[in-house]
Structure 1
Amino acid sequence: MVEVIWPKASEDESAKSSRRELIGRMAIGVAHEIRNPLTVIKGYLQLQEKKSTYCNGDSLRIIYQEIHQIETVITSMLSLAQNKAINRIPENLNHILAHLYPAVQQAAARNGIITELLLPEHLPRLALDAAEIGELVLHLAYNGIEAMQPEGRLTIGAEQTAGTVTLYVQDEGSGIPPEQRERIFEPFYTTKSGNTGLGLAISLSIVERHQGKIEIVSGAGAGSVFKVMFPVLEQ
């Protein structure tokens, strides 16, 4: 059985907005408090590396990897919390996807995943922030890659319907279990080891900033399709 899942609307939008604002302020404060000492630590490590042989290469590599992981989480938290203003201009979604596709191919190849890009010949222009849409596509693509075993197929494409253009990312994973469906867009919710659980939450915030809609078509053993619908620019 294939089900369509989308983020549920809150019963009280005012309370939801206030809660988001509070969480956002807290996340920004925590992120800055962590980032400042991390910068100092990183600087002293680089100085120590030049002056001493106390730390061998492997030890320093592990330290830098862990610092980089913390910095990645901080950057994601800030991206999610700030709900930043975006610069939306008329863009061709095909061009954005074609530009990103080589990066997706490389990431997929490292995991033994086959990729496919399906783009229609003509698409109407959309009001998009190209950098944010690029981040959205990469989050959805990496989510699909992580959901599959080697030799699975990841398909990225676009299609036009009346008044909308749909971006879709399809994987051949095991589908989304029922217990995950209510929580999949929650910040820090993840079932994957080493995953921050922020990718889909950030994806949802990007879609909302573009006045779009995101939904998932998924079923047990049938893989998942993430669909993002964008309104077409009025001529």
Structure 2
Amino acid sequence: MKFGVVVFPGSNCDRDMIESLQNDLKQEVIQLWHKDKDLSMFTTDDCIVLPGGFSYGDYLRCGAIARFSPMMQSVIEFANKGGKVLGICNGFQILCESGLLPGVLLRNSQQQFVCKNIFMKEAASESCEAIKVPVAHGEGRYFANDKTLEELEMHRQIIYRYCDENGNITHESNPNGAIHNIAGICNKERNVYGMMPHPERATSNILSNEDGRKIFNHLFGIN
């Protein structure tokens, strides 16, 4: 399985993602520039990653300009053919702006940038296992209208919810006010994934946290 990591002007987590995938998870990684279009080296078994950061300076709205970059046009086509796509933080915002995922990411409810370790759990799992990973965002409050939320629940598209260290989904464990404690979702076809937390920052024993490996294993079967 190959991973392509897209770099936009303002990306600041692309190196974190490349380091995590290459050195910690031992995966093949190809760096992709936002002005390029060629994804012919990838098959639908591979994955394109949109990393965190501030693409195009977050002008207009987070991810609003990146959505129209040449590479994103190819990523949209790739996803529509069944290729896997993962958006982390700003990458999640870009996926929502592009229409590959429903909903929107709004300003945090406390109107402040949040940067800390949080806990989240697999939404569809009966296990109460809490996964500890960092978040770092100012606009991470997921929101969708009632109809969209109903569809997300019906098709089990909510993949992660914020929780406390014991796996309990509580108001206090929600770092940004996201509706229904939603930390990550996927599309109906289950090949496009977006989340605000940063699993790539939790895959190394040097950082004393390898819980991010559980996320890559859950989504792609790698650990």
Which bin holds the TM-score, normalised by the shorter protein?
under 0.3
Normalising by the residue count of structure 2, what TM-score does the alignment of the two structures yield? 0.25
Q: Which has the higher helix share?
A: 1
Q: Which has the higher contact order (CA 8 A, sep 6+)?
A: 1
Normalising by the residue count of structure 1, what TM-score does the alignment of the two structures yield? 0.25
Q: Which has the higher strand share?
A: 2
